[in-house]
Structure 1
Amino acid sequence: MAIGQALAAAAVGGYGSGDLGAVVAHAGTTHAGTPHWLLGAVTLLGIAAVIAGWRTVREGERSDRFGAGLLSAGAILVIAGTIGLVEVQIAPAATPDWTRLFPAINAVSAIVVALGSLVVVRWKWPERPRYVGLGLLLAAWIAYPTLLPQEGLTNPLGYLLAAAVPAAVLYVFYRDAGPSFPGVLTARVPGVVAVVTFGLFGVFYLFSAGTLSVNPDLTADMVGQGFVTPYQVASPLVYWPALEFYFPAIPLSGYVSLGSLLLVAILGGLVASNAALAARQLTTAGSLDSPQAIVGTITTAGATACGCCAPAVYGAAGALFGAAATPVYWAFMDPSSPVGGLFFAASVLILTGSAVRASHEPACQIPSVDRPSGEPNASD
């Protein structure tokens, strides 16, 4: 099995469906000579730094720059530690019988999401049918590989659905985000935060989903030979053109596909939007008036950024608990598992709702002096 096939199989378990073979995974308790307990400690240290930085900025105990520095350092440590943990995954040899229920669970999950969208929107936002449309599209995303022949890997409907979901999200933002939302993204501090967050999320996603690796499984004829070759990856939903590569000098291996870039654009864009809104609230004089919105935005963005990369959950669990994490493997890494689709749907719904809600907070309003046509405000 080529490097890309191994990595693609791991990534497929998160958001699509595929027939690329078994997952090739690493074994052992070290990563590139580094003990797993040390990688776990780095991750926990990063979490502690993020919490300390948040408290510093929130309570004004020291300068905002010190708090922002702690937040940034913590985020880097969390991403570095998590990447190290998820790079080592134990692949069970036998498929348990209960995985045969996955297609049925997939179909039931899609029905629940569709009906739930109808009920919730009818109850809370009857004047906004576009929310039902987004919910139905996400339900179709979950059910797609179960309902179509051969998992719909070559069906044109898959490409249409993959384009319809981000289009629906953009339409919801266009109709429901506050009038200040575009200004928030163009303000200096929120704009920088959005760009940095998007970049960090992209790196985290690509490693946690298995599309990139610095600890590849190599066959004897691959060692020391770099290459870049065209490839096809069955994620998300359908086959996407990709480039598979291996650079032994780094070492770095993996693939980049149009499908993976689409997922990074959707999820990374939503996470970055939430982060920009949170940054705007934290750097505005009115931020103290809406602490619940700030906490909700940051918590939602952070939790979903991790949650949407479902393979990372198994990677960390397998690295820490070994073979005892086998059931988690099949829940998160099996291509037919409903977990990946549910994570994706929940991520899109929660992050979209969080951003729309936060964009209406008073702290996010952009005075005219903050807009590109005027002089920027000192708080930006």
Structure 2
Amino acid sequence: MLGIELGLWIVYPVLLTNGEYTSLFGYALVLSVPLTIGYILWRDCLGALSTVLRDRTARRFGGGVALTVAIFFMFAAGFLSFVPEEGVNAPETATVAVLPTLFPLVTWPTVEWFFPTIPFVGMLSIGVLIVIGMLGGLIGLNAAMVARLWISGEQTELTESTAGTAAFVGANACSCCGPIVGQFIILIAGSSAAAPVYWLFVDLASPAGTLFLVTSIALLTASLLHTVGTIADSPICTIDERLSASGVRAD
């Protein structure tokens, strides 16, 4: 089901919009993906996640990684910035407005702000928070799993479980490195050649950006499912379960 939803996420802008970006199907599709991921985690990962999150070190490490990645992603994707774009219509005073923005898939009421004295500009919507929450949450849970394996001394399985996270980093490398690549292209071929590259690799509404996004979600979910087997078979996990059953705190 998750694979079908992610596939529809890719083809929706091309086949299903008919120029309309306020379709109820688009909103339902965006909301269904995190619900499906939540169901998968509840069905197949609840026991292992409960064991891992009882460990204070793993819990704090996963939460810190999730928060760091979410903030980094928001700055890399342009949702937050301390370098506002200059233009003829750029406001000269502090401005907060609600405007419709196309991401993800459909238009969402978006709170946009600009504080020129800092300077600080940003935009947030329910759709953006859903995407950031999915990526940050999945990365944080994977990081907590890795931390738990490291603490328990499962070095072999640690290497295997890290492969899924590394695949995610590779899939999103273009989104983070796009601005740097654009600067090189400006130096070599001029600004007119850099604009399409920026749109293709950095703009999450582009076909490549959408493909990177859904691929990252799939890889992170698969990595988490793969690591669950390792955590479930870990000797430390078995000891934790016995301690919990006897009424002793596992952490």
The verdict on a shared fold, with TM-score over 0.5 as the criterion, is: yes
Residue 142 to residue 225, structure 1, CA distance change in 2 (3 Å): same
Letter in 1 for 2:249: E
Q: Does 2:120 correspond to 1:256? A: no
Q: Does 2:242 correspond to 1:375? A: no
Give the match for residue 344 of structure 1: 213
Q: 2:128, 2:75 → 1: CA distance? A: 11
Q: 2:161, 2:203 → 1: CA distance? A: 36
Identity of aligned residues (%): 29
Give the match for residue 365 of structure 1: 237
Letter in 1 for 2:162: V
| Structure 1: gaps of 5 or more residues | 1-132
Shift of 1:239: 0.9
- Tell me the secondary structure at the aligned position of residue 229 of structure 2: coil
Instruction: List aligned pairs for 1:271-282, cutoff 5 A.
Output: 271-282=139-150
Letter in 2 for 1:216: P
Residue 267 to residue 281, structure 1, CA distance change in 2 (3 Å): same
Q: 1:224, 1:311 → 2: CA distance? A: 30
Q: 1:311, 1:298 → 2: CA distance? A: 16
- Tell me the secondary structure at the aligned position of residue 113 of structure 2: strand
8 Å CA contact retained: 2:203, 2:209: no
Letter in 1 for 2:157: S
Shift of 1:370: 6.9
**CA RMSD in angstroms, aligned pairs only:** 2.6
Q: 2:20, 2:243 → 1: CA distance? A: 48
- Tell me the secondary structure at the aligned position of residue 198 of structure 2: helix
Number of residues of Structure 1 aligned to a counterpart in Structure 2: 241
Shift of 1:163: 0.9
| Structure 2: gaps of 5 or more residues | none
Letter in 1 for 2:237: Q
8 Å CA contact retained: 1:274, 1:298: yes
1:312 equivalent among 176, 194, 199: 176
Give the match for residue 192 of structure 1: 60
Letter in 2 for 1:295: T
Q: 1:371, 1:235 → 2: CA distance? A: 44
Q: Does 2:225 correspond to 1:356? A: yes
Give the match for residue 137 of structure 1: 5
Instruction: List aligned pairs for 1:96-175, cutoff 5 A.
Output: 133-175=1-43
Letter in 2 for 1:160: A
Letter in 1 for 2:72: F
- Tell me the secondary structure at the aligned position of residue 375 of structure 1: coil
Q: 2:162, 2:127 → 1: CA distance? A: 32
Q: Using structure 1 for the length normalisation, give the TM-score.
A: 0.57
Letter in 2 for 1:288: Q
Shift of 1:145: 0.9
Ranked by relative contact order (alpha carbons within 8 Å, sequence separation 6 or more), the top structure is 1
Shift of 1:328: 2.8
Letter in 1 for 2:23: N
Shift of 1:293: 2.4
Letter in 2 for 1:328: V
- Tell me the secondary structure at the aligned position of residue 84 of structure 2: coil
2:166 equivalent among 299, 307, 311: 299
